[in-house]
Amino acid sequence: MSDNHLTQESASRRQFLKGSTAAMGGLMVGAWLPPFAPKSAAAAAVATQKGALGDRFAEGFGAFVRVGHDGRVAVISPKIEMGQGIHTGIAMMVAEELEVGLDQIDLQEAPPDADLYTDTLLQFQATGGSTSTRYTWEPLRRAGATARMLLVEAAASVWKVEAGQCQARDGQVLGPDGQALGYGKLVDLAATYPLPETVELKQPEAFRLIGTPAQRLDTPAKVNGEAKFTIDLDVPGMLITSARACPVYGGTVRQVSDRAARAIPGVKDVVVLENAVAVTATNTWACFEALKALDIEWDYGANRELNSARVGEKLHEASRRDGVVAAENGNIDQSLDTAATQFEAVYEQPFLSHSPLEPMTCVAHVQADGCDLWVGTQVPGLAQQTAASITGLSPEQIRIHNQWIGGAFGRRLDFDFITQAVQIASKVDYPVKLTWSREEDMTHDMYRPRYVDRMTAAIGDDGYPAGWRHRIAGGSIIARYLGGLPDNGVDFDAVEIAVDPVYHLDDLKVHYIREEPEVVPISWWRGVGVLRGIYAVECFIDELAHNAGIDPLTYRKTLLQHRPRVVAALERLAEQSNWGDPLPEGRGRGLAVGEVFGSVVATVVELSAVGDKGIRIDRLVTVVDCGLVTNPTSVKAQMEGGTLFGLSAALFNEIEIEQGQVQQENFHEYRQLRMGEAPSVEVDVMPSAEAPGGVGEAGTALIGPALVNAVHAAFGDRVRQLPLTRSGYYIV
């Protein structure tokens, strides 16, 4: 039977997509989902930006799947690949339902389009909050399954048999009498069929690909050097640019002497912005040398006297106030009055820099009729908007060419570096590649806020808490994003975990006290509000257990009987870490557990005390129940990477301010674990039938309290302020 016959049969049936699918080159399927309620504080924050992102943001139209005439499957991913392996996961979801191999999938990242690519968990187009798998799990599988059903129906029509007598397998449809037609032969006919009213997804027991270890699709190119990040790009006619911004936040440029800079061979232009000076040049060396040669007189403004000590004092003072009530159950005042004893602890967490391996970089080309941006960003729509506001062009005239991201950890949820690139490009007549130096990147970051948590528990005669009061003082990321706090005055990111701890408490009262760090810019860091909340709660519950003389794991289980999934993870952790086995003197174990990003994670750190303050980590075990697993290889990699990322932060990392300037300029002052110091991370992925949870930030959130609790077990010291280096501890 001819291909032409296949394209004409049933041509009178309505096409399910606007426009001609033949012109698109095959069968194209979109997936629709109803809007979801926000599932996290960060999600709820950006959800309120509806007006800026388009009135149709909540329609929940998902990603596209297209089967071409050559049988290859193109998937437009609504999520950016930034090292978390989501492109491989998405490919596995589509391939599973469409019955093709991973090698038949081609991934393409979505352009800015809030109407088409809104994440219904975040409620705007973004990659973050550990939502990528959770959001794409149903719509991408549904799109694959829809395409499969249409292709099977087309083949059945050709063979004049019932669709139920046919099955899809390995990129072709098989008939009841040994017939076989490849997908490429069927796509045009399938494109004329209406969408099925119901789409039957595979049950987990029928999965052939999902749940099996798979090599990441991006690994070969990243290993052999073919992968191109923004920092690697070379656009025709492009010059290199970088900038020096005022070292004091809020300061401006007073005047510039650029004679020495312009004398350096290769330098093209010097561009003066309100708070920074940029140089363009034919090569990176000339650009960076010219920046050093600039003689800039700054107007530091009113923030020259800002320092970390003042920020800390104000936070501790604020933590004694009541602020606004974020959550209240029972009567904690009465409970504290009648308690056998009270227990109070104050925890402090520092400013943190994202400091990804690839510093902030963006290629921008501004012309009269449009603007092109080559950039790795977690928020392509917001990147488009900032470029439009600077250039005066319409958003449709801003073309985003999204690139692989060389590390983000939340940093590329902001777009200040994109704004600066467009400002520079607007003042020249050629494309520029802006690349910040490491020093510029670290001293002009959007930092994880500094927090103080003051907790007071009402303890019964049995040593267990009837409840506690939890005061949280810190700056508000939510207020920065929204231009103010919600009507109730609560930053719901800052109080996450605290307002709904996993432990059973009859009485709970959580206060939020907004105390801004003056001009220091703050933003989400890997783990967002969950990271902040888990640290305080898990350190506090451990202190209560030791105060009561009860094993910390037993203590937790007693307060978790209403959370069987968490108890199961703890029991698995006890088994995997040999929790009950005695340890020699000077060696200790610490644990932490929590429900984070839709997953349950439990972590044990086992370490030895070397001398007075030396720490040698002997074992690091983490158990994760993240629901149905797409790619166990990626889950383990993300848990390992997130855990080590958080371990570096808990041990070493802190951003300090003196005379209005960030003191840490590079990795010799903001150090990371070295290879010889990094412990092996034993990851146990529990079998689970729950809905998929997030894992990209889960390990980061649990390691800090587990480490601090292990330090107490080994040394007898209770550290309440991170990083541990502040208390004199060091890694050996």
Q: Which two tokens stand for residue 128?
A: 């973050």
CB 385 within 8 A of CB 395: yes
Query: Is 78 in a helix, a strand, or coil?
Result: coil
| Summary count for the chain: helices (H), strands (E) | 22, 28
CB atoms within 10 A of CB 104: 18
pLDDT tens, position by position, 85-97: 999 999 999 999 9
Half-sphere exposure of 162 (CA within 13 A, CB side): 2
Q: What pLDDT does residue 3 have?
A: 36
CB proximity list for 353: less than 8 A, separation 6 or greater: 442, 445, 447, 448, 653, 655, 664, 670
pLDDT tens, position by position, 517-574: 988 999 999 999 999 999 999 999 999 999 999 999 999 999 999 999 999 999 999 9
Mean of all residue pLDDT scores within the chain:
91
Confidence of residue 36 (pLDDT cuts 50, 70, 90): very low
Task: Say whether pLDDT at 9 is over 50.
Answer: no
Query: Is 193 in a helix, a strand, or coil?
Result: coil
Task: Say whether pLDDT at 50 is over 60.
Answer: no
pLDDT tens, position by position, 124-145: 888 888 889 998 999 899 999 9
Task: Say whether pLDDT at 31 is over 80.
Answer: no
Task: Say whether pLDDT at 25 is over 70.
Answer: no
The 10 Å CB-count burial string (b at 16+, else e) for 471-504 is bbbbbbbbbbbeeebeeebbbbbbbbbbbebbbe
CB 684 within 8 A of CB 624: yes
In order of 531, 599, 602, 686, 692, the CA distances from 625 in angstroms are 18, 6, 9, 5, 9
How would DSSP label each residue in 532-560? HHHHHHHHHHHHHHHHHT--HHHHHHHTT
CB 420 within 8 A of CB 321: no
Q: Which two tokens stand for residue 566?
A: 């968490």
How far apart CA 679 and CA 640 sit, in angstroms, is: 10
- DSSP single-letter state for residue 463: S
CB 94 within 8 A of CB 144: yes
How far apart CA 92 and CA 87 sit, in angstroms, is: 9
Task: Say whether pLDDT at 625 is over 80.
Answer: yes
The pair phi, psi for residue 73, each rounded to 5°, is -115, 120
Q: What pLDDT does residue 422 have?
A: 98
57 or 612: which leads in pLDDT: 612
One-letter-per-residue 3-state SS of 313-382: HHHHHHCCCCCEEEEEECCHHHHHHHCCEEEEEEEEECEECCCCCCCCEEEEEEECCEEEEEECCCCHHH
CB proximity list for 464: less than 8 A, separation 6 or greater: 544, 548, 555, 558, 559
Angle 183-190/132-159 helices, nearest 10 degrees? 90
Q: What pLDDT does residue 553 have?
A: 98
Q: What pLDDT does residue 40 have?
A: 35
How far apart CA 590 and CA 603 sit, in angstroms, is: 8
How far apart CA 426 and CA 420 sit, in angstroms, is: 10
Q: What pLDDT does residue 619 have?
A: 98
CB 373 within 8 A of CB 425: no
How far apart CA 224 and CA 230 sit, in angstroms, is: 17
Confidence of residue 27 (pLDDT cuts 50, 70, 90): confident
Task: Say whether pLDDT at 480 is over 80.
Answer: yes
Query: Is 210 in a helix, a strand, or coil?
Result: coil
Q: What pLDDT does residue 121 have?
A: 80
pLDDT tens, position by position, 656-680: 999 999 999 999 999 999 999 999 9
| Residue 665 falls in which region: left (phi positive, over 0), alpha (psi -120 to 50) or beta | alpha
CA-based nearest residue to 708, from 478, 543, 532: 543
Q: What pLDDT does residue 11 have?
A: 26
Confidence of residue 14 (pLDDT cuts 50, 70, 90): very low
In order of 50, 168, 171, the CA distances from 284 in angstroms are 40, 53, 48
**Percentage of the chain surpassing pLDDT 90?**
84
pLDDT tens, position by position, 156-198: 999 999 999 999 999 999 999 999 999 999 999 999 999 898 9
Query: Is 41 in a helix, a strand, or coil?
Result: helix
Domains and CATH numbers, the chain: 3-214 (3.30.365.10), 230-301+360-435 (3.30.365.10), 309-351+448-731 (3.30.365.10)
How far apart CA 362 and CA 373 sit, in angstroms, is: 7
